[in-house]
Amino acid sequence: MTHGLLPTDLARSSPEPMPPAEPPDAALAEELHLFRQLVREFVRSEFMPNQEQWRRQHHPDAEAWIKAGAIGMLLADIPAEYGGGGGTFAHEVVVLEELAWAGVQFASHIQNVVAQYILAYGTEAQKQDWLPRLARGELVGAVALTEPTAGSDLAGIATRAVRDGDHYVLNGLKSFVTSGWHAGLICVAVKTDPKAAGTRGISMIAVETKDLPGFRRGRPLEKVGMLGQDTCELFFDDVRVPVANLLGGVEGRGFSQVADKMNYERLAIAVSAVAVAESAVAITAEHVKDRHAFGKPLMDLQHTRFTLAHCRTEARIGRVFVDDCVRRFLAGNLDDITVAMAKYWLTDTECRVVDDCLQLHGGMGYMAEHPIANMWVDSRVHRIYGAPNELMKEIIALSL
């Protein structure tokens, strides 16, 4: 793949056809188009047929990560010198959209967030060791921030890391860890200085979990939605981790590191939210054309048409907004306030659109095997992921 600033709507082929923007470079547009075709074919042939099984077992199969790595679907925006695809966030957008349009729950964006931490703060040796294995799917990455008594307020974490010679000794519990079931490399937020006020004593330590004494996983948690994506509790009981695994090399920088990479995660959530809304409208439009009531298609009822018109308009506004955010992110000038706006408004919009679309399906929409029902339960957590939308509003309000 090629580095460069790429609009996300270049060569897009979505469930809801849209006029493409004029690409600044035809070669880059073609590259994105070919990458999208590759990812789309892979997701539909390898992931979609396994969704029922993944939901039953509450996690994807381990080999799914290896297969995704083999086609370059993981770490598409990490430099090739570290085993990544060498592309930009535009390539990651392709992956996010194709997964969302297919209704597949697969936390490749968390894999990328872990890679972003390592790329930004890891030593050269760590980059050469961990990033290629993450890109190949040999390592599954996770970020462990939340605890039973500390969510968005990272200052409230209790997990501690006490230095003992050339190791840290970790003790604590992390909850709601996405990809925790398979995770082989976990970026863990810990207190290295419990006496420091607020967030100043927080550090991020990378933990390799294979055959690691004192580390254990809880069973995948029972969630309302996202059933095919594993979420676990992780336990650290006198876990010894080399001091060299401290990200950034200096204690107390963990909060700023998390904050610095949070825009990446929140923008990824916003991209997925728009794609889900688009998919919901496309699925529902087909349903109301085929479904008859009172002797005519549901689409012939004014309420149906007006509801879908409203949903399509909201999805289109969301598309324009998120594409502009991605362009600005690629150019390096996307600010925290706008990311907060995008994450909050687009996930709220996603939930409104999906709920209206489910209503138009009637009783069929409430059946678990129907795609719109899965969208409905899966989309709800987007308003919580990456910090709840109420916090996004606080961030925005601070700018007023």
**What is the three-class DSSP state of 175?**
strand
How far apart, in whole angstroms, are the C-alpha atoms of residue 338 and residue 344?
10
How far apart, in whole angstroms, are the C-alpha atoms of residue 151 and residue 75?
27
Quick one: which of 80, 84, 114 has its CA closest to 208?
114
Taking only Cα atoms into account, the Rg of the chain, rounded to an integer number of angstroms, comes to 21
Lookup result for tokens 């809880």:
218
Per-residue tokens: 267: 């923008």
For 278, half-sphere exposure in the C-beta direction (CA atoms, 13 angstrom radius) is 25
Active site residue 265: yes
- Is 87 within 8 Å of 2 (Cβ atoms)? yes
**The CA-based dihedral angle spanning residues 166, 167, 168, 170, taken in that order and rounded to the nearest 10 degrees:** -170
Maximum Cα–Cα distance for the chain, whole Å? 79
Angle at the Cα of 46 (from 43 to 51), degrees rounded to 5? 85
Q: How far is CA 20 from the centre of its chain?
A: 25
| E-assigned strand segments in 57-198 | 141-144, 160-164, 167-178, 185-191
Distant-in-sequence contacts of 344-348, Cβ < 8 A, 24+ apart: 344/383, 344/389, 344/392, 344/393, 344/396, 345/318, 345/321, 346/270, 346/273, 346/274, 346/318, 346/321, 346/322, 347/269, 347/270, 347/273, 347/379, 347/382, 347/383, 347/385, 347/389, 348/383, 348/389
Catalytic residue among 97, 98, 265, 278: 265
Quick one: which of 274, 273, 52, 235 has its CA closest to 148?
235
Strands 185-191 and 141-144: parallel
- Is 185 within 8 Å of 209 (Cβ atoms)? yes
Annotated active-site positions, please? 265
